[in-house]
Amino acid sequence: MKLTLVQGDITEQAVDAIVNAANSSLLGGGGVDGAIHRKGGPEILAECQALRASRYGDGLPAGEAVATTAGRLPARWVIHTVGPVFSRSEDRSHLLASCYRESLKVADALGAATVAFPAVSTGVYRWPMDDAARISVTTVLRSESNVREARFVLFDFAAYEIFDRVLREIG
Ligand code: ADP
């Protein structure tokens, strides 16, 4: 698998699947979630509501992932994953790693060859960027997925620089 980094907006990525840093309600929120629903249109929300009604009555648990259509976005699918809220008193890094592993499993099931990831949990969920970068990059590099390109899409240059440094250290 090729791991690439870009600075930009995940809603503009022409890949097979983009990953959404959703919340467990699957009914939309701020940050990357808000941008995906705003630009992707109501079809994505309708599928999320159907998933709540059928499989996830209590919400999608942290660390899990599920796919919907991508509506009007250039991607074909959106893979919704729920990152853990950062905690200083409890190590939740296994849940953050699980977001990437489970998203790649869903991508494999869809037959997606190119997948774009945001930095899950680093916004409203407050995960420190360098620690998140280390967990995300390590997990994706270790995965045995059939995905050809995993692209990290970092919204601002500071985040891009951190991922770039971590990738040089680990990759
Ligand atoms: P979480 O609740 O998992 O922390 P957020 O959406 O609040 O999710 O933030 C996750 C990361 O996504 C943050 O680093 C934020 O800067 C970034 N982000 C926000 N909007 C976009 C976007 N349109 N494309 C890519 N990344 C984005």
Pairing of strands 65-69, 77-82: antiparallel
- How far apart (Å, rounded) are the C-alpha atoms in residues 85 and 96? 9
Q: Is the CB of 124 under 6 A from ligand 1?
A: yes
33, 58, 156, 164: the active-site residue: 33
- How far apart (Å, rounded) are the C-alpha atoms in residues 128 and 166? 13
Amino acid residing at 71:
G
Token pair in block for residue 126:
């407050």
For the cut 90, the answer to whether the pLDDT of residue 112 exceeds it is: yes
Mean pLDDT of the chain: 98
Share of the chain above pLDDT 70, in %: 100
Residue of the nearest CA to atom 9 in ligand 1?
Answer: 123
Mean pLDDT of 152-161: 98
Residue of the nearest CA to atom 1 in ligand 1?
Answer: 121
- How far apart (Å, rounded) are the C-alpha atoms in residues 85 and 48? 21
Q: 145 with 105: CB under 8 angstroms? A: yes
Amino acid residing at 26:
L
Per-residue model confidence as pLDDT tens digits over 7-43: 999 999 999 999 999 999 999 999 999 999 999 999 9
> How much is the pTM?
0.98
Share of the chain above pLDDT 90, in %: 99
* Dist. CA 116 → ligand 1 center (Å): 13
Q: Is the CB of 116 under 6 A from ligand 1?
A: no
What is the number of other CB atoms lying within 10 angstroms of the CB of residue 1?
14
Mean pLDDT of 99-121: 98
CA dist 51 → 27, 41, 47, 55 (Å): 10, 17, 6, 5
State residue 92's pLDDT score: 98
Q: Is the CB of 132 under 6 A from ligand 1?
A: no
Q: Is the CB of 119 under 6 A from ligand 1?
A: yes
* Dist. CA 77 → ligand 1 center (Å): 18
| Residue burial 42-54, b: 16+ Cβ < 10 Å; e: rest | eebbebbeebbee
Q: 78 with 65: CB under 8 angstroms? A: no
Per-residue model confidence as pLDDT tens digits over 47-85: 999 999 999 999 999 999 999 999 999 999 999 999 999
- How far apart (Å, rounded) are the C-alpha atoms in residues 77 and 21? 14
* Dist. CA 86 → ligand 1 center (Å): 14
In the residue annotation, 33 being an active-site residue is answered as yes
For the cut 90, the answer to whether the pLDDT of residue 145 exceeds it is: yes
Question: So what's the ipTM on this one?
Answer: 0.99
